[in-house]
Amino acid sequence: MATFVDRYPEEASVVKASLVVSFVALGIGALFGLVQALHRTGYFRVIDSVDYYTVLTGHGVLLALVFTIFFLVGLFTWAVVQSLERPLPDIRLTWAWFGLTTTGAVFVAVAILAGFVPSIDMSADVLYTFYAPLQAHPLFYVGLAMFIVGTWLAGADWFLAYRDWRGDNPDERIPLQTFMVLTTMLMWYLSTIGVAVSTVFFLIPWSFGIVETVNPLLTRTLFWFFGHPVVYFWLMPAYLMWYTVMPKLAGGRLFSDPLARVVFVLFLLLSTPVGIHHQYLDPGIAEGFKFIAMTNTMFLLLPSLLTAFTVVASVEHGARQRGGEGYIKWLGALPWRDPAFTGMALAGALFAAGGFSGMINAGMNINYLIHNTLWVPGHFHLTVGTAVALTMMAGSYWLVPQLTGKRLYSRPIGLLQVVLWFVGMVFMSNAMHRAGLVGIPRRTAEPQYQSFDFSAVIGTVGELRAQIALGGFLLFVSVVLFLFNLLLSAFEEPIENPVDDSLPAPLSGASGSPVVLDNLRLWTAIAIVLVILAYTLPLASIVGDAGLFGNVPGVPVWVSANAEVTIEALTEVIA
């Protein structure tokens, strides 16, 4: 039986191209991560401290947006094509969205990396959270807009494929992987309205000088309108693999198709009306709205807990099919030699820890304890940095052979790589969480202060720094192993079946789930109503207080080239 590349060669080329962009971003972003870890812990400072923020922005944008989302568009293309069992309707549209998204990403990367060259009058050290008043070069915002529109077109491509399939199969249930893709994209369309409005109507005109001032709280709120759901945009590809690929790798079948559908519907409904929980300490938003955001956020725990149950049940079923017995001993029957399985399992284990620290972030009162401390990067390195990134890397060991028709260069190196990521992340994120609890700030090149020392409750701050540096180093080595393993795989000889790519039917199939779950119009309408309820009054209040365009001139981040302008602007903002 032929694999994906033999059945759909044109689609395989697009998926491969998407993964190449994704992995290039991963390599650069990982190098920046190492530089940061060694710089702020004081072990090795190879860059000027001003450039730390260029590195930090590059790390955040290249990994959180480019690596994850290019992997997502590749994976979703694969998932739609193979689950609908038909090619995409027009491959020219597919290449068009790939080209637009890639050009946007290149613009963004150029604007950020130019910050290293003082002679170029361009910089975008605005961090991954690119709201005002920090102002980037217009190229950064234009690139972001192109990138977002590219993802919209990708979604349109998948919806068109689904429409064609529906025409031929009017009475069938939506295949599970396509259902996951479509619900995720509906959530994405809804949530990216915030960042699109912010970028197109406020940030681009402001960066070009067409509009002189900006309302920072409005751009912050619109950013987080998108900035929290984007977390689920990263996470849903991981969920897709945990639900549909991991049970197969474990030797079993998905425990429940209906539960998987419920989870994706819940994410469509609940992902967007929660963004204000990132703004608990922002003045200008009433406490009541923050409380509503907190309540909505706590509801989001439900789909994650359902996922934990369903995925673990599916994996246990697989282990028992392989001869596993007992309450705990079945764990030993799992295919730990397979880097794809082990990586996903370890990613899931650390995601549980990230979920618990996320509850601290989401709680309005205890959030004050850790707000803007190193706890927060500790948290999201467990979620996007492990649950998502490690699942994507592990999934690549199973997915890439289907796209190339070549076997993986080395499974043992793959296994070492995923384990190394787990160990490195345990060291780094554990220390970050603990450092955050004693008040050590995030986003700081040199977190040392005169006449003040942070005091760890258990152990010393020096030990925490050592853990962060060691963890960062292990993570970088892990990425290098991953990239070389895939690169060397490209030189393997093509074979007919490089990997078993069949996906078994779930134990409890779609026929057992209510038909209403497939009513995408209904869920989208409810999701829109929830967003209107959560955001109308806060946004009206923010605009009422300071106007659409506010009164803040902004702070251009051309630090080296425009020091005087920056200082002048800063003085004005502070005044």
DSSP-based three-state secondary structure for 552: strand
Element (DSSP H or E) covering residue 21:
helix 9-40
Q: Choosing from 39, 59, 253, 379, which is the catalytic residue?
A: 379
Nearest distance, CB of residue 415 and another protein, angstroms? 6
Q: How far apart are CA 478 and CA 416, in angstroms?
A: 8
DSSP secondary structure string, 253-273? --SBHHHHHHHHHHHHHHSST
Interface with another protein (CB under 8 A): 332, 336-337, 342, 346, 353, 415-416, 419, 422-423, 426-427, 430, 434, 457-459, 463, 467
Q: Is position 228 annotated as part of the catalytic site? A: yes
HEC letters along 398-415? HHHHHHHCECCCCHHHHH
User: Is residue 371 annotated as a catalytic residue, yes or no?
Assistant: no
Query: Which CB sits closer to another protein, 140 or 375?
Result: 375
Q: What share of the chain is helix, strand, coil (3-state, %, to 5)?
A: 70, 0, 25
Provide the minimum distance between the beta carbon of 337 and another protein in the complex, in angstroms, as a whole number. 4
Of 428, 453, 429, 427, the closest CA to residue 440 belongs to: 453
Angle between helices 339-362 and 389-404 (to 10 degrees): 150
Q: Which of 76, 232, 239, 476 is catalytic?
A: 232
For another protein, the closer CB: 309 or 336: 336
Nearer to another protein, 415 or 534 (CB): 415
| Residue 232 falls in the annotated catalytic set | yes
d(CA 7, CA 400): 15
CB of 492 vs another protein, minimal distance in Å:
22
Identify which of 376, 420, 427, 368 has the alpha carbon closest to the alpha carbon of residue 394: 420
Distance CA(150)–CA(196), nearest Å, equals 12
Asked if 381 is an active-site residue, the reply is: yes
**How far, in Å, are 68, 69, 306, 448 from residue 236 at the CA level?**
11, 11, 14, 38
Which CB atom, from 459 or from 512, has the smaller least distance to another protein?
Answer: 459
Active site (annotated) includes residue 86 = no
List the one residue out of 479, 489, 491 whose CA is nearest residue 409: 489
Closest to another protein by CB, 224 or 427 = 427
Q: What are residue 449's phi and psi, to 5 degrees?
A: -125, 150
Residue 277 appears among annotated catalytic residues: no
Nearer to another protein, 141 or 422 (CB): 422
Which of 380, 427, 473, 476 is the catalytic position?
A: 380
Backbone angles phi, psi at 469, to 5 degrees: -65, -45
Q: How far is CA 412 from CA 11, 354, 416, 466, 493, in A?
A: 30, 27, 6, 28, 19
Q: Choose the catalytic residue: 228, 261, 277, 434.
A: 228
Smallest separation, CB 459 to another protein (Å): 6
Measured from the CB atom, is 105 or 415 closer to another protein?
415
Give the shortest CB-426-to-another protein separation in angstroms. Answer: 5
Pairing of strands 134-135, 555-556: parallel
Sign of dihedral through CA atoms 67, 73, 75, 76?
positive
Work out how close the CB of 315 gets to another protein at its nearest, in angstroms, rounded to a whole number: 14
Closer to another protein by CB, 9 or 323: give it. Answer: 323
In whole angstroms, the minimum distance from the beta carbon of 487 to another protein comes to 23
Closest approach of another protein to the CB of residue 435, in Å: 13
Which are the catalytic amino acids? 228, 232, 379-381, 442-443
